[in-house]
Amino acid sequence: MYPPLTILGDTLTWLVENQQSVIEQTIQHLNVSLTSVGIALVLWVPLGLFLHEHDEFAPPVIGTAGMILTLPSLALLPLLIPIVGIGVAPAVVALVLYSALPMIRNTYTGLEEVDESMVRAGRGLGMTDRELLFKVKIPMALPVIFAGIRQAAVLVIGITTIAAFFGAGGLGESIFAGIRLDFPRQVLGATIVVSVIAIATDYGLLAVQRALPGGSEAT
Amino acid sequence: MIELDNVRKVYGDGTVAVDDVSLEVPEGETVTLVGPSGCGKTTTMTMVNRLTEITEGDVRIDGESIQDTDVIDLRRNIGYVIQEIGLFEHMTIAENISIVPDLRGWDEERKQERVEELLELIQLPQDVKTQYPANLSGGQRQRVGVARAMAAEPDIILMDEPFGALDPITRDELQDEFLDIQQKLDTTIMFVTHDIDEALKMGDRVAVLRDGELVQYDAPKDLLGSPKNEFVANFIGEDRVLKQLSAVTVREVMNAPQVGEGAGENPLSPDDSLKVALQRIFQQGDPLPVVEDGEVVGQVSEADIQAVTDRRTSEVLQ
Ligand SMILES: Nc1ncnc2c1ncn2[C@@H]1O[C@H](COP(=O)(O)OP(=O)(O)O)[C@@H](O)[C@H]1O
Ligand SMILES: [Mg+2]
């Protein structure tokens, strides 16, 4: 057993001594996370828009996305390996799938919840469906959509850690190696870095979201 | 001119919201639609800009059926003030007001000019341009809603309880301002309200609706003078005679002046209401001279006023 202060000191020492690899792993971690969030954005936000126009598909699609989120990553990743191979690819696929629920659901509900009176005013003043979507609904829903993107990003940064177990790289490498070698300072050091990235992302995106008109109410 | 020709609206759930209503809104006039909540006012109005599709019948604007006009063009040519105001919360006041000009592709400069002109018209300071609707008071928001409807200078404006959510004093103020604005414009207006006083005040003609049917369609003083049935009489209220006095002008009842009579100290104008006339008569005695452009043009006595209310009251109770 370690006294807490000792382990904290050991951890800091480990971080300083292994700067180089920590920085490399951080970059790799962010690379995997950002790629996944980027792809997810391009897929899921438009899907949310589609569901808004075609309500009848919303329950099954959002239900499926919710189900995916309950699959443990340690089970999903090995299932993907035979399909897309080892390395970054299965990690990105899994992370994109995990992003589906927050992004689709928030885009959909954000658009659905736009105040009916604004939609009616827009339509009554002669907006086409397209103008209504881009000039009224999307801007009004933006804080809620953005909140979904933020939730997905934080989720992805966390799960990227697990993907290292299957060869995706990133800070998870140090964590799993530390567990294998029974080297707590390494586990803790890498974990702290992941947490800092996740928290910084959360706050950074929250600040952006708050700056959007009407953004302070969305969570 | 707007013509409603036997229009009927049955909603999907079988509700008959409007039942065989025909009425004409003449060019440049304001028609108020009035009746209890749920009587079909909003439905009648929104059939004009096709926010509500007509089940049966037709609406024509300047003789052309609205079914033959592109729905987007139709709406961009009709100003619309919705019941809930519905300002775009993410847009500045200037952006809100210039939305229809924007949709129509006006250039920036022309939009800016129009916004400034309208802010002046609705008596808001120019510096609200860059503010958001959330920063405005209820009365200011209502004004912006009206300005937004007028922005592209439509020939027709539909207003759905535009002053409904205001306290009585602000409402009165906005009504007066709007009457002023309306004098300067040549716009055909359909104005929905559930408040009979507002309907009488704002309308050149008043359409009283009940359960989707048009009960009476008349000028305010005729509505007051000869309500068609008990429903209309009750809707107008107990103070019908007082309202009538407000709605009829001295010009309509005055007699030829007595030869050689002077203007007196405090003469009536022909455009004063009978209510004003009666009050003066109580203070100064009758008959009172009526003066226009410095010339005595007539005189009014208490009996003349009495005759108006008597005649019209007896007509109701046949
Ligand atoms: N979209 C709708 N579907 C079904 N019934 C409706 C709908 N809109 C209005 N109604 C019904 O039609 C009637 C007239 O409504 P409305 O025109 O809004 O009345 P008002 O504006 O006079 O209050 C009411 O009974 C109302 O409940
Ligand atoms: Mg209504």
Three-class HEC string of A41-60 = HHHHHHHHHHHHHCHHHHHH
Longest dimension (CA), chain B: 71
In this prediction, residue A53 has a pLDDT band, given cuts at 50, 70 and 90, of very high
Neighbours of B84 (CB within 10 A): 16
Q: What does pTM read for this prediction?
A: 0.84
| In chain A, % of residues over pLDDT 70 | 95
Residue-level pLDDT at B46:
96
Q: Top-level CATH class of B248-317?
A: alpha beta
CA B9 – ligand 1 centroid, Å = 10
Q: How far apart are CA A184 and CA B212, in angstroms?
A: 78
Q: Dihedral of CA B199/B204/B210/B216: which sign? A: positive
Q: How far apart are CA B167 and CA B239, in angstroms?
A: 22
CB B66 within 8 A of CB B74: yes
Q: Report angle CA B225, B227, B230 to the nearest 5 degrees.
A: 140
CB B190 within 8 A of CB B25: yes
Residues A124, B82: C-beta atoms closer than 8 Å = yes
Which residue(s) pair with B189 in the sheet? B30, B157
| In chain A, % of residues over pLDDT 90 | 79
Whether the pLDDT of residue A8 is over 70: the answer is yes
Domain B2-237: assigned CATH number: 3.40.50.300
In CATH terms, the superfamily for domain A4-113+143-211 is: MetI-like (1.10.3720.10)
Residues with CB under 6 A from ligand 1: B 11, 13, 15, 17, 35, 37-43
Q: Please give the average pLDDT of every successive group of 10 residues along chain B, which has 318 residues.
A: 96 95 95 95 96 96 95 96 93 96 96 95 93 93 94 95 87 89 90 94 95 95 89 86 83 81 77 88 86 88 82 49
| Domain ranges within chain B, ordered by starting residue | 2-237, 248-317
CB B117 within 8 A of CB B150: no
Atom of ligand 1 nearest to the CA of B52: 1
ipTM of the complex: 0.82
Q: Which residue has the higher pLDDT, A8 or A114?
A: A114
Residue-level pLDDT at B255:
86
CA B43 – ligand 1 centroid, Å = 6
CA B82 – ligand 2 centroid, Å = 9
Which residue(s) pair with B208 in the sheet? B34, B216
Q: Report angle CA A53, B158, B32 to the nearest 5 degrees.
A: 135
Chain B nearest C-alpha distance from A46 (Å): 21
Query: How far is residue A173 from each of residues A162, A197, B140, measured CA to CA in Å?
Result: 9, 16, 60
Kindly provide the b/e burial profile for residues A45-83, where b requires at least 16 CB atoms within 10 angstroms of the residue's own CB. bebbbebbeeeeebeebbeebeeeeeeebeebbeebeee
The CA radius of gyration of chain B, in Å to the nearest whole number, is 22
Residue-level pLDDT at A121:
96
Query: How far is residue B100 from each of residues A26, A186, B104, B181, measured CA to CA in Å?
Result: 50, 62, 6, 20
CA B161 – ligand 1 centroid, Å = 14
Angle between helices A184-211 and A19-53 (to 10 degrees): 40
Q: Report angle CA B80, B81, B85 to the nearest 5 degrees.
A: 140
End-to-end CA distance of chain B: 35
Q: Long-range contacts of range A25-28, CB-CB < 8 Å, 24 or more positions apart?
A: A25/A169, A25/A170, A25/A171, A25/A173, A25/A174, A25/A190, A26/A170, A26/A171, A26/A193, A26/A197, A28/A169, A28/A170
Q: How far apart are CA B151 and CA B112, in angstroms?
A: 11
Q: How far apart are CA B149 and CA B158, in angstroms?
A: 8
For testing contact with chain A, the best of B75, B78, B90 (most A CBs within 10 A): B90
Q: What are phi and psi of B316, to 5 degrees?
A: -65, -40
Residue nearest to atom 13 of ligand 1 (CA): B17
Residues A213, B99: C-beta atoms closer than 8 Å = no
Residues A118, B89: C-beta atoms closer than 8 Å = yes
- Which amino acid is present at A196? V
CB A191 within 8 A of CB A162: no
Residues B90, A214: C-beta atoms closer than 8 Å = yes
Residues B80, A121: C-beta atoms closer than 8 Å = yes
Whether the pLDDT of residue A204 is over 80: the answer is yes
Chain B nearest C-alpha distance from A118 (Å): 5
Q: Which ligand is nearest to the CA of B35?
A: 1
| Domain ranges within chain A, ordered by starting residue | 4-113+143-211
Q: Dihedral of CA B104/B110/B112/B116: which sign? A: negative
Atom of ligand 1 nearest to the CA of B15: 5
Using CA coordinates, name the residue in chain A closest to B157.
A125
Atom of ligand 1 nearest to the CA of B46: 17
For chain A, give the mean pLDDT.
92
Query: How far is residue B208 from each of residues A132, B44, B235, B239, measured CA to CA in Å?
Result: 34, 12, 9, 18
Q: Report angle CA A214, A216, A219 to the nearest 5 degrees.
A: 110
Of B113, B115, B93, B111, the C-alpha closest to B102 is B111
Is B148 near chain A, with CB under 8 Å? Answer: yes
Q: Which ligand is nearest to the CA of B161?
A: 2
Q: Which ligand is nearest to the CA of B160?
A: 2
Residue-level pLDDT at B318:
41
Neighbour-count burial of B180, counting CB atoms closer than 10 A to its CB (0-12 exposed, 13-18 middle, 19+ buried): exposed
Is B47 near chain A, with CB under 8 Å? Answer: no
